[in-house]
Amino acid sequence: MDAIVEAALRKWPKVPHCHGWLALDARGNWFMRDERIQATGPFPQVKGSRIEHDKLRAFIERNYGHDHDGAWFFQNGPQRVYVELEAAPWVWRVDAAAEGAVPVWSVHSHTGLPAAVQGSWLDEHGRLFLHTDLGYGIVHTLDMGIAAQAVEAGAWQPAEMAFAAMPARFGYVLRPAP
């Protein structure tokens, strides 16, 4: 967490939390959802305005975390802005490299953090999810070809699980309530 955020928390410890204004889609994109957008429909059917500003995205990602109930948020100074999730709290990017004749797959989060894969799952839509040392997330659609190579090579052996069962199993909340 940024030092300026920690200082704001100490200075204003009782700022109300914010719900419904920030969302993360299954490709790692952040969306602002103002009152007008929220009134037109739920996320992800109505996404809102994609956050394009690099420094704002980086600030959100550095201050992204979760509470003890599994609700994910962005700590914006003294205010906790809860995040609506399309699929999972993490979106994994997958890279492949060869170490000699042996391929090696590396995984990092949509926030740029490296992760070590501990397990894998496929939902009923064929989406691949990975449980890592950072937590649970979905593989980015652009990286499914590389991820399929890891599965075919036996590096990951996905089990099947219904998408609806994943949040409870892995301890996260898709739509945090006030």
Question: How far is CA 35 from its chain centroid?
Answer: 23
Please confirm whether the linkage preceding 44 is cis (ω < 30° from 0). Answer: yes
What would the pLDDT profile of 30-65 be if each residue is shown by its tens digit?
A: 999 999 999 999 999 999 999 999 999 999 999 999
**Any domain includes 177:** no
Q: What is the CA radius of gyration of the chain?
A: 17
**Any domain includes 128:** yes
Separation between Cα atoms, residue 1 and residue 71, nearest integer Å: 17
Of the three residues 25, 59, 85, the one that is the final residue of a domain is 85
Of the three residues 54, 85, 116, the one that is the final residue of a domain is 85
The more confidently predicted of residues 76 and 137 is 137
pLDDT band at 132 (very low <50, low <70, confident <90, very high): very high
Tell me: do 9 and 26 sit in the same domain: yes
Q: What is the mean pLDDT of the chain?
A: 93
Q: What is the mean pLDDT of residues 128-148?
A: 97
Tell me which residue of 75, 78, 46 sits closest to 59, measured CA to CA: 75
- Return the pLDDT at 14: 74
Backbone angles phi, psi at 138, to 5 degrees: -100, 145
Question: How far is CA 87 from its chain centroid?
Answer: 8
Tell me which residue of 37, 91, 16, 101 sits closest to 61, measured CA to CA: 91
- Return the pLDDT at 103: 84
Tokens 């420094």 label which residue?
55
Q: For residues 124 and 164, is the Cβ–Cβ distance under 8 A?
A: no
Q: What is the mean pLDDT of residues 101-119?
A: 93
The CATH number given to whatever domain includes residue 44 is 3.10.540
Q: What is the mean pLDDT of residues 83-110?
A: 91
Question: How far is CA 98 from its chain centroid?
Answer: 28
Of the three residues 85, 108, 139, the one that is the final residue of a domain is 85
Tell me which residue of 113, 108, 103 sits closest to 150, measured CA to CA: 103
pTM higher than the cut 0.75: yes
Tell me: do 57 and 41 sit in the same domain: yes
User: Would you give the DSSP letter of residue 164?
Assistant: G
Instruction: Please give the residue range of the domain that contains residue 47.
Output: 3-85
Question: Which of 45-54, 77-86, 94-103, 159-168 shows the lowest mean pLDDT across its residues?
Answer: 94-103
- Return the pLDDT at 13: 67
**Any domain includes 178:** no
- Return the pLDDT at 12: 64
Backbone angles phi, psi at 25, to 5 degrees: -90, 180
Q: What's the token pair of residue 129?
A: 């999810």
What would the pLDDT profile of 152-174 be if each residue is shown by its tens digit?
A: 999 999 999 999 999 999 999 99
